[in-house]
Structure 1
């Protein structure tokens, strides 16, 4: 950190928190429904956000007065590479019914979220998650968060196995060493409260006393399948493959989606191609990058605290030189290989060992029973009967693994019984669409996202069918605010909440996640989003070149030629 920087309030809080403890343990014992502001900030590092139901803020009680904020917690489970057992997913489904709002949500980072957990039930929730050999620790906060990796469960495939193994190694290597998580949530699991002794700090060789300046995200993927959007990560590892083996990794650094429209100093960014690392070097190179961000990232202004701003301010050359100093030697230039494709992994696939895997779409990640679609009950039935491993995807869907081909017909019958559509019954639009939760639980949200996107896709499907564009892969991502949790700045169409009921419409990205989109229209009311896109889709149908995608078409023509008003 620069000697001239002043520490923000959050930095001072982390430094004085006794390694992320603060007053969390004491506040769990009081009868208030919420945590103090400082405790809520530290709580994030333990995998939970304090929230309130924004739908009910103005609801009136029996006395005729507004009830105000009805507090609860979001609980996020970190699942490296999205890999779960059937028992783990079933246990999380039990939790959502017993202690949360009855739904379970797959995140865009291959984790799971419970919503509506009361503070009084928070410890029980975290204990149960740890009992099933999962954790919420470091799923949020100023640390390395859940490590993403391509979830496709191809067996007898050293490359796919290598991606998952790398995600597991990174998750373990960058997990904070503090014992605060165990002490606060798990220490008295036998039901006997343990006497709290004098605080004994442990060494945090990677994070230091203040942890990182801001959140840090990692992903692991392949050139032909960038399903985890490597270029949006703070640190991405692109596997370089020769003769069926991973010979090393292209290291990408400095991606990030968040922006603040009122602050011109902020912007989304794609990661930069930094270097090539051998299998023997790669963990040490990643550690060097994290330590450079730790020591030089902005700790005064959290709006510019992500790694992308450090690289923007320094330039790639200076950043790489500093990483080499921390690494202890020179780094090789990146391999020529780069991202070329993406897959959603939905539908039936040969697994490579005589068995099958099945990708099932989960619209916007929300596992629930509603109307004719009883997804939660259907998954319970299928997992309870067949007990297969599960993988979560970066598009908020899931994969059922290790299926005997003889069971395919029965699984499809059960899917039909519970109203679960097969991949071939879904449009490409719906398969590649994702949204953040937004209202009513996210305190940062400006407008709707998860609850609005299905209707937008319904309308778009009609217009795309009219134009005969159903076979064109068109990715639409929606967020309720500019923070970009659903990665809205890289797909063909990004919809970003700007004001209540109004959105900024971005176009010109692509499903492969290798290009930033640009503003096409600003402050567009929800009901006018599709009408605003239709003329552009009409031009795309007539003016596209060969198999050019919608995003490629918009990028080739450019903002001025397509009449962008941004």
Structure 2
């Protein structure tokens, strides 16, 4: 890591004016885990099972690792009285989604060796390996370390991977904002000495210094997501972040950021007290106050977030319980100054611009559509092989977008013909010739690997899109951009609750259908149909799309029309989402 992890203000490791409440089970587990060591090292040595101990599965999330099993095989293995086909998802920490060609080649090598020859680009601009077996975990993580990559804080109750807008057309502003995002990530993660001991075989060093001066023994109440966005493209969905920094530029470049707090997508179908929430913009800071502001905001949530009920432990609930004005005052008290009034900004979309672009330095960038982020070789499109060949030739960078696509970035003029030739050779040059609907689609992984999934997502959405595309084509709307997102459960990893058309899984082949989200992520959607199958979904969309084609106003987006036409009410506050 390029900077000292976590903030140096050890006197703020806990707000002592607030007595600790009784801890819930997960909080007690963290407190008694010896700073996330648990018995992970012993679990990895147990060759009688492909799993790790139950408590270690929770602690390993802080190490960027989820234990999963192949749910396609679950019933058959149960009938054979075998344990589930356990395997692990490993998520890389990759601030702002930027990686080098050398890092790409290492990721490719590890995926081929341990991850069933596939990589997945995530909605938080990083890579996930799936299908990693327990005995391959250490080799995978040490391989990442060889490429100066790690998985610290990619999961767990801590500051997750920090996002950053991908806009290669404005190279200097993007570079400045990305640099702050990367440095914020390096500072905001836990120190994680346990990680170095377990995965890198380093010796434990005795010290009188606090092991986690900011996080303490219980870390954050729940995950905490940070993102940096550069208007007018809201590609990171800044209103879905716990803490969002909205870049404000001027004639001299980056000046500062508007600060947004309290976004979050997760909810439960079984609890009306849980809901998605959009972040509120609370003011403006100069660029040199980013680190202090991140510390102050995280500190407020650390000290006041709910540590008894995990379903209500996200920052959005802390804000709604305490009140936005109270939270803002608490942040300002820690900063020692008042936030300035927010400065004007506007967003126009949250999608990617595909194909070739050129920045002010005359360097080229090619944005490649990667459906649902899945990098794998298929007979008609050897995507994994093609990207490996590009990485062998490329002298720039790769940038993972928040929409699960990939930018082959920073291509010098003399190198562009070679990149174009590889794109043609591996049949990747025409991959962006998709419908506007498909280019604006996102799906989570869901089955067969995610233990939370109730229905298909990644494997099903492409087929559903083909059927919706036919409806759009019938009404002359095949080129109309509509944001559409699908999650296999209510947790919302694909940010479905701000899509114009959103789906969340309820049971096998059953989904909730949501309508009315904002085209650039500025408004929540609302449930239109509950627990329905494909036939009901397509019938409903056929009716609404036909109505939209006949009566939409000039330039009116689908989500705006769904509200104006009365299909769903407008929702801007999370507390009204379930009403």
TM-score (normalised: structure 1): 0.94
Match of 1:489 in 2: 497
RMSD: 2.2
The farther-off stretch of 106-115 and 320-329 is 320-329
Query: 1:419: Cα distance to partner?
Result: 3.0
- Further displaced range: 451-460 or 242-251: 242-251
CA contact (8 A) 2:526 2:568 kept: no
Alignment match, 1:179: 193
TM superposition shift of 1:259: 0.4
1:68 positional shift: 3.9
1:561 and 1:108 map into 2 onto residues whose CA distance is 27
Q: Are the equivalent residues in 1 in contact too, given 2:125–2:402 (CA < 8 A)? A: yes
> Counterpart of 1:258 in 2: which secondary structure?
coil
Alpha carbons 1:145, 1:217 under 8 Å: kept: yes
Deviations 1:297-348 (A, max 9, x none): 0000000100000111122111111111222222222223243433403210
For 2:179, the equivalent position in structure 1 comes to: 165
**CA drift at 1:374:** 1.2
CA distance in 2, matches of 1:200, 1:556: 62
- Secondary structure, aligned partner of 2:288: coil
Partner residue of 1:436? 444
The 5-angstrom pairing of residues 365-380 of structure 1 reads: 365-380=373-388
**Residue aligned with 2:517, SS:** coil
Q: CA deviation at 1:142?
A: 0.3
Aligned pair in 2 of structure 1 residues 536, 227: CA closer, same or farther (>3 Å)? same
- Counterpart of 1:26 in structure 2 is 42
Describe how 1:124-523 pairs up with structure 2 within 5 A: 124-154=139-169, 157-188=171-202, 202-405=210-413, 407-408=415-416, 410-422=418-430, 424-523=432-531
What 5-or-longer segments of structure 2 have no aligned partner?
1-14, 571-577
Partner residue in 2 for 1:73: 88
**Is residue 83 from structure 1 mapped to residue 83 from structure 2 by the alignment?**
no
Does 1:55 pair with 2:72?
Answer: yes
C-alpha contact 2:152 2:192 (8 A) present in aligned 1: no
Partner of 1:43: 60
Aligned-pair CA distance for 1:423: 5.9
CA displacement at 1:174 relative to structure 2: 0.4
| Contact 2:351 2:403 (C-alpha < 8 Å) held by counterparts | no
- The 1:325/1:197 distance shift into structure 2, 3 A limit, reads closer
Contact 1:234 1:255 in 2 (8 A): yes
**Match in the other structure for 2:9:** none
Contact 1:178–1:201 (8 Å) recurs in 2: no
3-state secondary structure, aligned to 1:281:
helix
Distance 1:244 1:499, change over 3 A: farther
Deviates more, 1:325-334 or 1:75-84: 325-334
Shift of 1:499: 1.6
Deviation of the 1:234 alpha carbon: 0.4
User: Which of 118, 121, 128 pairs up with 1:103?
Assistant: 118
Give distance in 1, aligned partners of 2:57 and 2:249.
Answer: 44
Moved more, 219-228 or 301-310: 219-228
Are the aligned partners of 1:477 and 1:487 in contact in 2 as well (CA < 8 Å)?
Answer: yes
- Pairing 1:8–2:24 present: yes
Q: Secondary structure at the match of 1:282?
A: helix
Structure 1 residues 167 and 174, CA, compared in 2 at 3 Å: closer, same or farther?
same
Given that 1:145 and 1:216 are in contact with CA atoms closer than 8 Å, whether structure 2 keeps it comes out as yes
Separation (CA, whole Å) in 2 of partners of 1:200 and 1:422 = 59
Between stretches 395-404 and 265-274, larger displacement belongs to 395-404
SS of equivalent residue, structure 2 residue 76 = coil
1:344-387 deviations in Å (ceiling 9; x for gaps)? 03210012222210000111001001231211111112222334
1:420, CA displacement in angstroms?
2.2
Q: How far apart, CA to CA, are the structure 1 residues paired with 2:168 and 2:72?
A: 40
Query: In structure 2, how many angstroms separate the alpha carbons of the residues matched to 1:100 and 1:530?
Result: 35
Q: Number of aligned pairs? A: 556
Q: Is the 8 A contact 2:365 2:408 kept in 1?
A: yes
Contact 2:86-2:133 at 8 Å conserved across structures: yes
| Structure 1: distance between partners of 2:568 and 2:235 | 31
CA contact under 8 A between 1:255 and 1:271: conserved in structure 2?
Answer: yes
CA distance in 2 between counterparts of 1:200 and 1:454 reads 55
Q: Decide whether the 8 Å contact of 2:372 with 2:458 is kept in 1.
A: yes
Q: Supply the distance in 2 between the matched residues of 1:204 and 1:396 (Cα, whole angstroms).
A: 33
Write the distance in 1 (CA, Å) between the matches of 2:398 and 2:20: 49
Per-residue CA distance 1:53-73 (angstroms, 9 max, x = gap): 000012259xx7243411011
**Distance in 2 between the 1:392 and 1:42 partners?**
27
Deviates more, 1:115-124 or 1:465-474: 465-474
**Compared CA separation, residues 326 and 197, structure 1 to 2 (3 A):** closer
Distance 1:415 1:138, change over 3 A: same
What is the DSSP-based 3-state SS (H/G/I as helix, E as strand, rest coil) of the residue aligned with 2:556?
Answer: coil
CA, structure 1 residues 148+60, in 2 after alignment: closer, same or farther (shift >3 Å)? Answer: closer
Whole-angstrom CA distance in 2 between matches of 1:45 and 1:260: 23
Instruction: Tell me how far apart the structure 1 counterparts of residues 262 and 93 of structure 2 sit (CA, whole Å).
Output: 22
Q: Cα gap change, 1:244/1:555 in structure 2, threshold over 3 Å: closer, same or farther? A: farther
The corresponding residue for 1:191 is none
Q: Tell me how far 1:260 sits from its aligned partner.
A: 0.3
1:96-145 CA distance string (max 9 Å, x none): 11012221000000010000101111011111011101110110000001
1:201 is displaced (CA, Å) by 6.5
